[in-house]
Amino acid sequence: MEKQDKSALRQQLRSKRQGQNPSIKKVMDAKILRRLSHMAIFRRAKRVLLYTPIPHEKEVDTLKMIEIVEKKGGTVFLPLKKIIAPKNIDLAIIPGIGFDKDGNRLGFGRGYYDRLLKKLRCPVVALAYDFQILHAIPRHEHDMSVHTIVTEKKIYHIS
Helix axes 22-38, 63-71, angle to 10 degrees: 30
Average pLDDT of span 52-59: 92
Bigger pLDDT: 140 or 57?
57
Q: How many helices (H) and strands (E) does the chain have?
A: 5, 9
Helices marked H in the chain — which ranges? 3-18, 22-38, 40-44, 63-71, 112-119
Q: CA-CA distance, 59 to 70, in Å (whole number)?
A: 21
Query: For position 41, what pLDDT does the model report?
Result: 97
Q: Which domain holds residue 59?
A: 3-157
Query: For position 18, what pLDDT does the model report?
Result: 93
What CATH number is attached to the domain comprising 145? 3.40.50.10420
Query: For position 55, what pLDDT does the model report?
Result: 87
Query: For position 85, what pLDDT does the model report?
Result: 80
Tell me how many domains the chain contains.
Answer: 1
Amino acid at position 70, single letter:
E
Query: For position 1, what pLDDT does the model report?
Result: 44
- Residue 150, classified by CB atoms within 10 Å of its CB into exposed (0-12), middle (13-18) or buried (19+), is buried
- For residue 150, which of 122, 125, 132 has the smallest C-alpha distance? 125
Q: What is the dihedral of CA 53, 56, 57, 62, to 10 degrees?
A: 20
Say yes or no to pLDDT of 53 above 80.
yes
- Residue 31, classified by CB atoms within 10 Å of its CB into exposed (0-12), middle (13-18) or buried (19+), is middle
Q: What is the DSSP letter of 80?
A: T
State the average pLDDT for the chain: 91
pLDDT band at 4 (very low <50, low <70, confident <90, very high): low
- Model pLDDT for residues 72-107, shown as the tens digit of each residue: 999 999 876 676 788 889 999 999 999 999 999 999
